Amino acid sequence: MAAAKKQLKFGAFLYTPGNHSAGWRHPDAVPGTDMDFRHYVSMARTAERGKLDMLFFQDTAGIPGTGALTGGSPLRPSQARQVQLEPVGLIAALAAVTENIGLVSTATTTYNEPYNIARRFLTIDHISGGRAGWNLVTSQSEDEAGNFNLDAHMDHSLRYERAEEFYDVVTGLWDSWDADAFLHDKASGTWFDTEKVHFLRHEGKHFRVRGPLNVARSPQGRPVVAQAGSSEVGMELAARSADLIFTAQTSVADGRAFCAGIRARAARHGRAPDSLRVLPGLMTFIAPTDAEAEDKYNRLRDLLSEEWNMANLARLCGGLDIRAHDPDGPLPELPPSNAAKARQGMVKRWAAEEGLTIRQIAARLGASQGHNVVHGSPRKVADMMQEWLEADACDGFNLLFPFFPAPLDDFVDLLVPELQRRGIFRTGYEGPTLRDVLGVPVPASRYAAR
């Protein structure tokens, strides 16, 4: 009997009003997708109609460019993403108007407390019937520090040290109650079994948390945990903690190496290597023909603002004023960044391996935020995805859209049927929970052995 084909997993990364810096200027773009809940409901239902695994929401607790460290840099009027709906509240609302699709939100460990995060995500998991996921991140943006009683961003290594302990506290709180703890026995007057509630009593360097959590155990055992760090410490945290990993890889060789590396790290932490799902970011421009798709891509490329491209690059330059250098010259030596170390490393590789100028690097960042881009007919895009999947370079993709809602519609209406025809994407959801859909195991409670 032939082995079943591997099937792609997809997140719809709803980074409104779009992942392309000029996307909101496209004639078909709806700029109001950043704040209008009705648009989110419509896009969520489109993604669910396409049988996508999950919606995925990024978050930043501040406005980029407000100059928390630089004394108040002026905002640029061409810069989108000034305001957004807080995504943890957003996925709670979307849980009530969807039935099958997973709901994953970012929440930083740098400017939150573990008890609050554990409580919010477990609540949403119950509201949704087991479809919630927490994207565990350490804050990148230095503009966040000024909103949380700090003059400067916490050091990168300290942010990850805090994140490690934060994860341990959150997952410990999620294990506060056994699945069968609540008896609701009217005859005896017993609401719960006292042997099946657990006090965490955590005392560490960053947190002291007694517990237990005042929310019952998850319908899926534990909410799914995603992680997006690709620095050395980020990968180590992901290998130890994540069910789902979002990364930036732009070639089959790089994707394959990343997957092999992260699975080997997971094995060293005592985890089954195939228990993780790796989803590189991918921006798609899809049309009935390759020529039409290329035209879509070029049209947005021509709308890019060089001013915004340079501002986007500047945040990765470790405090160096990149605008003081010849934009058509080579990238200078960059001081270490206290923001996104892995993304700065990627920029340095572009300069060293491809010989890109400062202007070219900034334009690539503006067009894709450093992620892979593919444009073409459904057949061409499906060929690319199938190649990555069969080469073990990914388990699927976190889908970035240049603007909303038309490119999401194109993906669902044009590409999904082609992937289903090839047998590499589902025609129906595998079960009611996000863990069922992703095919990732339920972690045992830390108290199970007792």
Lowest mean pLDDT among 91-105, 221-235, 372-386: 221-235
Reported as a single tens digit per residue, the pLDDT across 114-157 is 999 999 999 999 999 999 999 999 988 888 888 999 888 888 88
In this prediction, residue 66 carries a pLDDT of 74
**Structural domain contains residue 352:** no
**Structural domain contains residue 329:** no
pTM: 0.91
Output phi, psi for 301, to 5 deg. Answer: -55, -40
Q: Do 312 and 21 touch, CB atoms closer than 8 A?
A: yes
374-379-383-384 Cα dihedral, nearest 10 degrees: 10
Answer whether residue 101 shows pLDDT above 90.
yes
**Structural domain contains residue 301:** yes
In this prediction, residue 68 carries a pLDDT of 44
Q: What percent of the chain has pLDDT over 90?
A: 70
Lowest mean pLDDT among 275-279, 300-304, 415-419: 300-304
SS3 helix, strand, coil % of the chain, rounded to 5? 40, 15, 45
In this prediction, residue 450 carries a pLDDT of 65
The string of DSSP codes covering 145-167 is: GGGTT-SSPPPHHHHHHHHHHHH
Task: Check residue 210 and report its DSSP letter.
Answer: -
Output phi, psi for 47, to 5 deg. Answer: -60, -40
| Cβ partners under 8 Å of residue 189, min gap 6 | none
User: How many residues are given for the chain?
Assistant: 450
- CATH classification of the domain holding 177: 3.20.20.30
Highest average pLDDT, of 141-155, 278-292, 342-356, comes from: 278-292
- Tell me whether strands 132-137 and 102-108 are parallel, antiparallel or unpaired: parallel
Give the pLDDT band (50/70/90) at residue 362. confident
Q: Do 315 and 365 touch, CB atoms closer than 8 A?
A: no
**Structural domain contains residue 198:** yes
Bin 18: left if φ > 0, else alpha if -120 < ψ < 50, else beta: left
Q: Any alpha helices (H) in 200-317, and if so which ranges?
A: 232-241, 252-268, 290-301, 306-314
Token pair 């990732």 in the structure block, residue? 440
Output phi, psi for 437, to 5 deg. Answer: -70, -45
**Structural domain contains residue 337:** no
Give the separation between CA 292 and CA 275, rounded to whole angstroms: 39
Domains: count for the chain: 1
Give the pLDDT band (50/70/90) at residue 423. very high
Answer whether residue 71 shows pLDDT above 60.
no
Q: Decide: helix, strand or coil at residue 299.
A: helix
Domain that holds residue 98: 9-305+370-438
**Structural domain contains residue 103:** yes
**Structural domain contains residue 4:** no
**Structural domain contains residue 136:** yes
Which one-letter amino acid corresponds to residue 186? K
Q: What CA–CA distances, in Å, run from 175 to 108, 109, 199, 209, 212?
A: 21, 19, 9, 14, 9
Q: Do 420 and 58 touch, CB atoms closer than 8 A?
A: no
Q: What percent of the chain has pLDDT over 70?
A: 95
Closest to 142 in 3D by CA, of 247, 79, 60: 60
In this prediction, residue 327 carries a pLDDT of 84
Q: Decide: helix, strand or coil at residue 381.
A: helix
Token code pair at residue 135:
């994207």
Average pLDDT over the chain reads 91
Output phi, psi for 417, to 5 deg. Answer: -60, -35
